[in-house]
Chains A and B, each alone.
Chain A
Amino acid sequence: MEPFIKIKSIATPLDKVNVDTDQIIPKQFLKLVQKTGFGQYLFYDWRYEKDGSAKKDFVLNDPRYRDSKILLARNNFGCGSSREHAAWALLDFGFRTVLSTSFADIFYNNCFKNGILPIKVNEQVLQKLFESRSEIEIDLEKQTITNDGVVISFDIEPHWKKILLEGLDDIALTLQYNNEISKYENAQSNSSLRVS
């Protein structure tokens, strides 16, 4: 996984609450068996007309945001289906961070697993960022968001911070605890209350 240290870019404002993962990546694109190539289908139904041409009024088609790495979203972003394809599509399109007032739990987790930093901010901060036209800098080490000379700090769970900064493989981390897992399994299999 590519580490996340610091990024700076213009932010893409997606002004809509309760955006579900069915919108982020519609079901017809879940049949691929790899993790790459989903960016072209990101927000497909909102992004394209029936004939495949780009919808002019959809923010992802606005040339001003072409090189954006930051997505600004509204409350309860990523709700619904657990499909990790949503995170893969955002990453493949070029987004490395999403800012919102809240995220759905499974989506939030899926972001970190793919090197995307989801940041929870309060309503006022989010509104300011939506209104700003200038670049935003996200510094994970310092846990800061900088925009128009204003520095705002954000919270992140320490384990996610470490995993993102170092681009760690969660499975390799867990396998360090192989002895503990085996111990748990042995206790289970010797118990009269085993479930296997």
Chain B
Amino acid sequence: MNWAYNFYFREGPGIPKDAPKPQGLRLLAAVLGREWWELLKLNLLFIAFSLPVITLPAAWYATVSISVTMIEDRNVYLLRDFRDAFCSRLAVSTLVGLLFGASGTLGFLAVRTYAEAAKTNLLFVAPLTIAVTVSALLLLLNAHLFVALTKGAGRPLADIFMASAIGVIARPLPGLAALFIVALLWLAHILFYPASVFLPVLVNFSLGALVTSFAVLKGVQIGLSYLDSVRKHGTIRRPKT
């Protein structure tokens, strides 16, 4: 049993105070390495809180909120913080979720309709392209929105939307890359089913939330600070909420 004792109690290398903070993908790897066990638990929490279905957006918001805390290297009391986040933005996140659900459904229907039409008439490739692009942007905006809700606590909803939109425009590629990774996660689940039956139960939601939050966080911060900056100098009118 020495290995078990050593695993827990062996003296570590220490963490220098002035050690440079990892950036980019190294930071993501560091967060994953540090919080992998919490991510497993977070995934289960998300599933548990999503069971009534209508609470899915709030549960997703709470998952994103925890992910942002992990990325920012702050301490997480998983159950307590999840519950707090879930309750604090239950209404707003549900509203955002419903809006996204409705627009996402429209986007999906548009893409499917134009794709069917494009098979018979090439002229429909143009609206298909537009529908695909708009749907991807909606997906991206949604990813930004939940992170903006976390980072912009206390701000009006219009600010959250605006900051998210700015984030989408300022840094679309990391967000798209994150969405691609999430898609791969689900693709892996589908391809390797039933071997991958536990993948969604264990990591898909929490890892997806972490990766997308990590990718869009900077864009949201840019959006929020841009709003602050222009408002401070009076060059932009405060949007009505």
Task: State yes or no: do A and B come from one complex.
Answer: no
Report B's interface with A, CB cutoff 8 A. none
